[in-house]
Structure 1
Amino acid sequence: MAYLARRPGTWFWRLAIAPVAFVATIRTAFGYQWTDPMFNAYNFGSGLAGVCGAAKVLELACYPNGLLKVGEREPGVIENPAIELEQLNQEIHLRRGTGISPSEVAQERGSRRNPIAAGFLDAIEALTTMRGIGWQFGTGTDIYVPPETRDTTNKARFWRQTFASFLVYFVLFDVVTSAIQLVPGIGTPDGGSIFAFGGDNLLKKYAISVAIEFSTGVAFILGFEMVYRLVTLIILPIPAFKQEPSFWPPLFDKPWASVSLHEFWSKRWHQLLRQTFLVMGGYPLAFALSLVAMLLGFLLGTFTASGLFHYWALYGMGRGTDVQCLIFFAAQAVGVMLERVWKAVTGRRVGGWLGRAWVWIWVVGGIQWCINAWHERGFAGGMLVPPIVSPARFVVFPLVQPVFDALGVPVTLPLALNA
């Protein structure tokens, strides 16, 4: 599908193949599982990937002219040929003094466009592009790119900075997830409820559940950034992919600083699945309600699709689904609409410290039952980081254990040697 989406005149074939590709994607994602409970979290990831892939199949099938990059009038053909000539001249200028003649540069550029190689690379890029940076579907849709703190003018320096940040995210992710696994029940493959602590004391019960939920949210952010930067480190140096540092901006922009739900979900939270949710629900429901309430349909469809995305992924863990995941994400559309009503009535946007409290109530308060559904299925109890490469088990826990012993804290931390 991705290959055909980057070839002109293939709409009929993509429509014909789409049903088979859709079913095959879902069947592969949910039909094959990790049977060891220690790896059940990977089944959740497989479910997420399967739903995302199925949405990608539908998206690629629906472009009449194929999936186009910025400046293209059809796949591989740019709108303004002068741009391509300028790019060739720039490369000739950069190669000056290297002993390579202009004709050899032009020939090399032509060899890069070997139909088979170009088609393969195009297919990979079309299949893996998420935010639409450099693609037409990512323009004109208010896509937000977080500010960059790394040096994008020097690829080698950017790579080193990315590597350093990857190590930081890896260590922090390992420490946070290892700490979560110390919680009784939740830290086992069988799973447990975040509401199982505190007894009849509601204040204590929900204080503990919020602490576990917040730690889980932090782990998600760290995990996303860790994997994203690892992929950046692998892909960026490969010449065939012709990647630039500017193609790999950060994923998050301090989501804890959001002053409205609109800002949280449209800017500060990661936008990797934005197009997936638009295809799954935003566009279809907006079209269905176009004569009545397009904006309402767009918001409700997008957030409901997000809920279904997480709802179906739970099925991959082999313990059924939980409608609370669907309810949480669908309810975010209601919150965003209430912000629009507030602006219409008062003339002012939701913001300031009250806006920040509003976001925390809707997100941190509401997502508890969704995260509880994940933990009840053993999401955090499996092997997220192999003990043999765990900084927490090799360094952090051995340093903390004597402190616990001296303070009389009855906790035995798992170490690398006895993992």
Structure 2
Amino acid sequence: MGTTLEFSLPPISALAFVPFIYLQAVLLQPSIPNRISRILRILLCIPAIYLAAVGPFRHRIEPVRYAIGANFRASIFHPAFILKALEWGFARDRSTFAWVGFENEDSAPGSNASDLHSEDEKVPPKRRRIRNEANLSALAGSKSIPTINIRGQRNMSEQLPTPPDSPTNSEASDVVEASPIVPLDLGIYGPTADSKSSWTGDKTPMIQVLRDALHLCTSMRGYGYAFAPPKRSMASRPRTPPPSAHGPFARQALWRLFRSHLISTICQILLIHRDDAIPYWLRTYLSIPIAHAKPIAHFLAYLSVGFSLHAQMLIGFEGASLIFLALHYLPRPLQVKFDTREWAPLFDRPFEMSSVTEFWGKQWHALFRKPFTSVGYEPVVAVVNAVAGKKLGKSVGRTLGAVLVFGLSAWMHDFGLWSARYGLSPSPIRKLSFLQRHGANLFFLLQALCIIFEQIYTRTTKRKVAGWWGRIWSLFVIVVLGSLLAGRSWIALGLVDGLPSLDRWGWQRWLLPTVCLAPPPLWVK
């Protein structure tokens, strides 16, 4: 007798690490004494890291054999939570996590000068004074950010470059200039608008502290905070509607969600039918011989892995932005304030890259920028500077830091697939070639080497990698090699194993975003 498949989601205990990370966010608030804050944050690292590490192995979407792709997409975020727990646990300068808002953003993407001034006039004088005092504590010049530590002493915290978004090792590159220009506040009413008072000496109600901590947890990229990505890295991104223009923002988000869902669905079809229907269609409609149609179908499937992941990230991001926008219209006690500028576009036309450095530095998402920088890049640079001296350590440290950051990225993806396949047999390790097993890891490490090569080229020729040759080069390194290494490896490791064929799809798989990735028996004929 055959075994009946039963679909089930992981229990709520799969998120057991979340309360510990949230408590770390509470302890990062300035109203908590510094000594108590740091000790408790370090202690909270232990349960947070342990539970985030074991969760994807203990709690998964069932049936596991047919849900490798779905579990991979869920568990890939757990390494990010581990890094976040380390970052928040050992953070020394809590003013890095201060809310500074969006004032003086006239030239930023999605801002409008008239909207800024009209909104500024609505701010009461007392709140405007608090806001301006907090802004002054967060800004100073273009090369360093003066911050106020918890003991009230001024110190200069120079923000180091960000390898996942600026993984280069030369001062000549735009992507590695230290210290972003921090945006200031507009005075929008909301859970974070009054939180500046605690950075200027005023007391903050406990309920406000809890809300500020929750807001910090949901702000992965940090827009509006002192640790936000450099302003110059956002300069070319598509403009967002003004802060209060929720209607246009919702329409843009819905359009991007629909477009991404369409792309994701096409990619799943190319992946699922790479061995049967796609070669047949190529032979029938394009008159391509079957001997050539099969390799073409396989390469299209490898390409589809990257395009599908890009589309699904957009679906998740746009869906989350619409959820937070909906929460803004709840009754006032439950209302969550919503500012469109915190939801700037996730990507900046990534397929128009003109160099590998530009792609990872400005055009890809910045979701893991801060933990990668704090846990990987900055410690390596500091150690190399201490050992080799600043003159030699600057370039060597940045090079090693970039390699480590891409190594962390490889680990994140490897962890996701490893946990998704855990306990399944037969194991693919013995049957697959080295490239099939480790192609994705090689791809991420190759990115660091290509960025180093671009820096050597720039120093040697005094020209940046750009133009059409730069575009061809970066498309080859990222798209072609990414498909042949990472895409091929993930397919071989079972990323789309068990997904139902097109003729078995229920209507829900066509209409609902990402549902086509769900394992059977959910919504199959």
TM-score tier, shorter chain, comes to 0.7 to 0.9
CA distance in 2, matches of 1:390, 1:338: 44
> Which among 373, 398, 404 is matched to residue 278 of structure 1?
373
Which deviations, in whole Å up to 9, do the C-alpha atoms of 1:165-216 show, x marking residues without a partner?
32232233223323322223999xxxxxxxxxx99x7x87764443222222
Equivalences for residues 1-400 of structure 1 within 5 A: 1-6=24-29, 8=32, 9=34, 10-36=37-63, 37-66=65-94, 68-71=97-100, 81=130, 83=132, 115=206, 117-140=207-230, 143-144=233-234, 147-153=237-243, 154-184=245-275, 207-239=296-328, 240-290=335-385, 291=388, 292=393, 293-318=396-421, 322-367=437-482, 368-381=484-497, 387-391=506-510
Judging changes above 3 Å, is the alpha-carbon distance between structure 1 residues 44 and 216 closer, same or farther for their aligned structure 2 residues?
same
CA–CA separation in structure 1 for the residues paired with 2:306 and 2:73: 16
Counterparts of 1:245 and 1:82 in 2: how far apart (Å)?
Answer: 19
Deviation string, structure 1 residues 1-23 (Cα, Å, up to 9, x no partner): 22222353311110122122211
Does the 8 Å CA contact 1:180/1:215 hold for their aligned counterparts?
yes
Moved more, 46-55 or 362-371: 362-371
Please give the alpha-carbon distance, in whole angstroms, between the structure 2 residues aligned to 1:171 and 1:38: 23
The answer as to whether partners of 1:11 and 1:65 remain within 8 angstroms in 2 is no
User: Offset of 1:323 from its aligned partner?
Assistant: 2.9
**Partners of 2:277 and 2:448 in 1: CA distance:** 30
Distance 2:445 2:238 in 1: 31
Cα 1:34–1:259 change in 2 (3 A) is same
Q: In 1, Cα distance between the equivalents of 2:499 and 2:205?
A: 43
SS in structure 2 at match of 1:390? helix
How far off is 1:231 after superposition? Answer: 0.6
Instruction: Describe the shift of the 1:148–1:217 C-alpha distance in structure 2 as closer, same or farther (beyond 3 A).
Output: same
Gaps in structure 1 of 5+ consecutive residues: 73-77, 93-112, 188-197, 394-415
How much is the aligned-residue C-alpha RMSD, in angstroms? Answer: 3.7
Aligned in 2, Cα 1:379/1:89: closer, same or farther, shift over 3 Å? closer
Amino acid at match of 2:493: R
Q: Structure 1 residue 353: deviation in Å?
A: 1.5
Residues 19, 33 of structure 1: CA spacing in aligned structure 2 closer, same or farther, 3 A cutoff? Answer: same
Distance in 2, matches of 1:173 and 1:139, equals 28
Q: 1:418 to 1:295 in 2, by over 3 A?
A: closer
Give the drift of 1:90: 7.2
Cα offsets for 1:381-416 (capped at 9, x unmatched):
4559973323379xxxxxxxxxxxxxxxxxxxxxx9
Aligned-partner residue type, residue 155 of structure 1: H
Structure number with the higher helix fraction is 1
Q: Distance in 1 between matches of 2:399 and 2:134?
A: 46
Q: Residue 15 of structure 1 aligns to which amino acid in structure 2? A: I
**CA separation in 2, counterparts of 1:186 and 1:26?**
39
Report if the CA contact (8 A) 2:68-2:496 is conserved. no
Query: Offset of 1:141 from its aligned partner?
Result: 8.6
**Structure 2 CA distance, aligned partners of 1:48 and 1:55?**
12
Code of the aligned partner of 1:388: W
Task: Between 47-56 and 235-244, report the one with greater CA deviation.
Answer: 235-244
Question: Residues 216, 145 of structure 1: CA spacing in aligned structure 2 closer, same or farther, 3 A cutoff?
Answer: farther
Q: Is the 8 A contact 2:45 2:86 kept in 1?
A: yes
Report how many residues are paired.
Answer: 360
Distance in structure 2 (CA, Å) of the matches to 1:89 and 1:324: 46
Distance in 2 separating the partners of 1:181 and 1:132: 37
Distance apart, 1:226 and its partner CA: 1.4
Structure 1 residues 143, 30: closer, same or farther in 2, change over 3 A? farther
How big is the shift at 1:358? 1.0
C-alpha displacement of 1:254: 1.9
1:30 is displaced (CA, Å) by 2.6
Judged with a 3 Å threshold, the aligned counterparts in structure 2 of structure 1 residues 132 and 89 are, in CA distance, closer, same or farther, namely closer
- Tell me if structure 2 keeps the 8 A contact 1:150–1:158: yes
